């Protein structure tokens, strides 16, 4: 049985016929071809599938697709605007916060959800916001550095 899903993804209104058994992450990756959102465990344990849903960072692998009805979703593909990187993305590149890159979209979405709400996070607040995102390459220090540096730049821009 299929149901109709209506939501906003990366500023665009979406209407799609979906299998309600599907997880949101599969809808994004397979139906919307938004493969920037990654799957690391499909059990809500690694954060690779983090998206921003109604202002909050969520593991899209844990969201039954119909739970996205009426919600506003941003994926990593919606962060870059018109070929221009977001400051968080720039700082991830500049500060060496990216290695294999598989956790990166999730890390950036968790970071963005934090900075959208809290423009001046402390180091501990950054660590807490990234607590659900596993990175096995970097040792996290350069990621934290990138988020704090992006926060600073974003504040200066305002």
Per-residue binding letters, 15-34, with other proteins (x by CB under 8 A): --------------xx--xx
Q: Between residues 70 and 80, which has the closer beta carbon with respect to other proteins?
A: 80
- Residue 36 Cβ vs other proteins, minimum distance, rounded to whole Å: 2
* Distant-in-sequence, close-in-space partners of 27: CB < 8 Å, separation ≥ 6: 5, 16, 18, 65, 68
Contact call for residue 139 and other proteins (CB under 8 A):
yes
- Residue 73 Cβ vs other proteins, minimum distance, rounded to whole Å: 14
Residue from 10, 16, 66, 94 in contact with other proteins (CB under 8 A): 94
Residue from 8, 16, 134, 154 in contact with other proteins (CB under 8 A): 134
Q: Between residues 70 and 93, which has the closer beta carbon with respect to other proteins?
A: 93
Could you give the angle at the alpha carbon of 109 between the alpha carbons of 57 and 94, nearest 5°? Answer: 155
Contact call for residue 39 and other proteins (CB under 8 A):
yes
DSSP 135: -
The token duo for 45 is 């344990």
CA distance linking residue 97 with residue 13, whole number of Å: 33
Residue 11 CB-density burial (10 A; 0-12 exposed, 13-18 middle, 19+ buried): exposed
Q: Count the neighbouring beta carbons within 10 Å of the beta carbon of residue 118.
A: 13
2-10, 66-74, 77-85, 114-122 -> range binding other proteins (CB under 8 A): 77-85
**3-class state of residue 66 by DSSP:** helix
What residues line the site for other proteins (CB under 8 A)?
Answer: 29-30, 33-43, 45-46, 48, 75-77, 79-80, 85, 89-90, 92-96, 98-105, 108, 126-128, 130-131, 133-144
């Amino acid at each position: 049985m299929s149901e109709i899903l209506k939501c906003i993804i990366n500023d665009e209104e979406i209407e799609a016929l979906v299998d309600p058994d599907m997880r949101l992450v599969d809808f994004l990756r397979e139906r919307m071809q938004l493969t920037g959102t990654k799957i690391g465990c499909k059990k809500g344990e690694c954060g690779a599938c983090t998206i921003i849903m109604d202002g909050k960072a969520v593991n899209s692998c844990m969201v039954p697709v119909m739970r996205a009805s009426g919600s506003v979703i941003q994926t990593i593909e919606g962060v870059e605007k018109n070929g221009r990187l977001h400051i968080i993305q720039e700082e991830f590149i500049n500060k060496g916060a990216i290695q294999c890159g598989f956790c990166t979209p999730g890390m950036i979405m968790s970071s963005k959800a934090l900075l959208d709400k809290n423009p001046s996070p402390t180091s501990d607040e950054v660590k807490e916001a990234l607590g659900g995102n596993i990175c096995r390459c970097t040792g996290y220090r350069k990621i934290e550095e990138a988020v704090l540096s992006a926060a600073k730049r974003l504040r200066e821009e305002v």
